[in-house]
């Protein structure tokens, strides 16, 4: 009886000490975790403007020197006092368009040209997909794109995270000849849709649902920025 009691008390004390140590460790690691999350986001944004570097210091330096962060709304107004990094795109998509806070990242390249980077969030076959697409100063031509996923199937839907798929978007158009928004469609080569080749890229073979999710994500996430782009152009 004494032995069982001793073992029970010992287990409780050990559990409490372990829990306290884990809590302190988790709290101490929070700043590093936040820094890594921010770095990953900055890297993804820069990937959409065709930057391929991987060195942490170089990414931080380039981002700090070349990217301006802002938040706008669907009416084309800049919203002050809001941290673009703190806006959760997924949560904003649940709101009516006119109430959304829209993060926007303006990258100025070595050539002096600006590229406007739009964050995107969507749903693939097995879970969330997300990415960034950058537009030229004409607010029509895609400069670059970056996509990633949580759990899409390797060799199929996961191909959205691969360079060959992403490079297809370069030079595509989101507006038609009459300046109407048509987006960039992700469809099968054989799909018959009423848009020209400048508005479509090849979907992933065997990854139909992920391709469809990417297509919907592009249309849903890019269109709300047209109000701001229109104001800048005018």
In angstroms, the CA 105 to CA 46 distance is 10
Domain boundaries, the chain: 66-233
Q: In Å, how far from its chain's centre is CA 55?
A: 20
In angstroms, the CA 163 to CA 205 distance is 15
The per-residue pLDDT for range 113-168, each reduced to its tens digit, is 999 999 999 999 999 999 999 999 999 999 999 999 988 888 888 999 999 999 99
The number of beta carbons lying within 10 Å of the beta carbon of residue 163 is: 11
Give pTM, 2 decimals.
0.86
Token pair belonging to 17 = 């000490």
pLDDT at 149: 94
Residues of the chain with pLDDT under 50: 1
Reported in sequence order, the residue ranges of the chain that DSSP labels E, i.e. its strands, are 67-72, 102-108, 114-123, 128-135, 142-149, 185-187, 200-202
> Closest Cα partner for 172 from 146, 134, 211, 206?
134
**Are the C-beta atoms of residues 78 and 101 closer than 8 Å to each other?**
no
């Amino acid at each position: 009886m004494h032995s069982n009691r001793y073992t029970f008390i010992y287990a409780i004390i050990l559990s409490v000490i372990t829990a306290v140590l884990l809590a302190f460790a988790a709290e101490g690691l929070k700043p590093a975790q936040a820094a890594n999350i921010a770095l990953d986001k900055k890297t993804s944004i820069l990937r959409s403007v065709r930057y391929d570097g991987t060195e942490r210091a170089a990414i931080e330096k380039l981002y700090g020197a070349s990217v301006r962060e802002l938040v706008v709304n669907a009416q084309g107004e800049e919203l002050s006092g809001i941290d673009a990094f703190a806006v959760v795109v997924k949560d904003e998509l649940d709101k009516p368009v006119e109430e959304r806070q829209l993060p926007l990242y303006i990258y100025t390249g070595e050539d002096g040209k600006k590229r406007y980077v739009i964050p995107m969030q969507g749903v693939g076959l097995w879970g969330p997909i997300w990415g960034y697409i950058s537009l030229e100063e004409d607010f029509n031509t895609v400069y670059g794109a970056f996509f990633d996923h949580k759990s899409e199937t390797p060799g199929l839907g996961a191909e959205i995270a691969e360079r060959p798929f992403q490079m297809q978007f370069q030079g595509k158009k989101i507006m038609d000849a009459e300046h109407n928004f048509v987006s960039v469609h992700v469809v099968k080569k054989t799909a018959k849709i009423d848009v020209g080749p400048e508005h479509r890229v090849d979907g992933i073979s065997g990854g139909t649902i992920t391709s469809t999710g990417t297509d919907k994500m592009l249309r849903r996430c890019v269109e709300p920025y047209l109000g701001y782009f229109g104001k800048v152009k005018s």
